[in-house]
Structure 1
């Protein structure tokens, strides 16, 4: 029986070692599987985030284009208004010039008429 006890303890220890090793390997496989599933879920989340980010960028780009178009339209309107104002000013300046010339002509004509009358009076005397 002295020989049987050590053999029995050796076989029990070997069996325990085999069971423990199999258990550890199983746990490692589960962790690896969990990591792989986690990576897949993580990559799905990253893909969604990337798509949302790209959609937001495109939306901002469209808004920027609309804003630029509105600014261009406003600038064109302002340019048109400025052009109209300048044309109106030029027109009114032209009108003033014409009015001034009329007044000068009328004044000169009046002076000429007075000079003629004076000459006629001088001739009569």
Structure 2
């Protein structure tokens, strides 16, 4: 039995060593595999992120174009409205001028009549 104990310990140590070595090799393979898969996944993620970024830029560009078109349309509308208002103001001004002209002519006619009446009164 004394000879069996050292042989048993030797076999146990050898088995432990083999199990430990296999475990470490397995862990290294998993790490390597994990890194390869991680790089592939990272690459896929980067591709997706790049695609999403490009899509967002395209969307922003389209929105900017739409905004510019809306601003241009609003400016044209404002200019058109401003021109209409200016035309209305000019029409009102023309009407005011015509009305004032008529009043002046009417007053001048009244003044002439008054002068004529005064001249006739002086002559009599």
| TM > 0.5 fold call | yes
Q: Deviations over 1:38-72 (max 9, x none)?
A: 33213312321232133123312321332133123
Q: CA deviation at 1:33?
A: 1.2
Report deviation, 1:10: 2.6
Across the aligned residues of Structure 1 and Structure 2, the Cα RMSD in angstroms comes to 3.2
The alignment partner of 2:2 has SS state of coil
Aligned length: 124
- TM superposition shift of 1:110: 2.3
Instruction: Label 1:114 to 1:37 Cα distance change in 2 as closer, same or farther (>3 A).
Output: same
**Gaps spanning 5+ residues in structure 2: where?**
none
- Cα 1:93–1:20 change in 2 (3 A) is closer
Distance in 1 (CA, whole Å) between partners of 2:112 and 2:5 is 157
Between 84-93 and 3-12, report the one with greater CA deviation. 3-12
TM-score (norm 2): 0.67
More displaced stretch, 85-94 vs 11-20: 11-20
Cα deviations across residues 75-94 of structure 1 (Å, max 9, x unaligned)? Answer: 3321x134223422332233
Compared CA separation, residues 120 and 9, structure 1 to 2 (3 A): closer
Q: Give the TM-score normalised by the residue count of structure 1.
A: 0.67
Q: Which moved more, 1:82-91 or 1:1-10?
A: 1-10
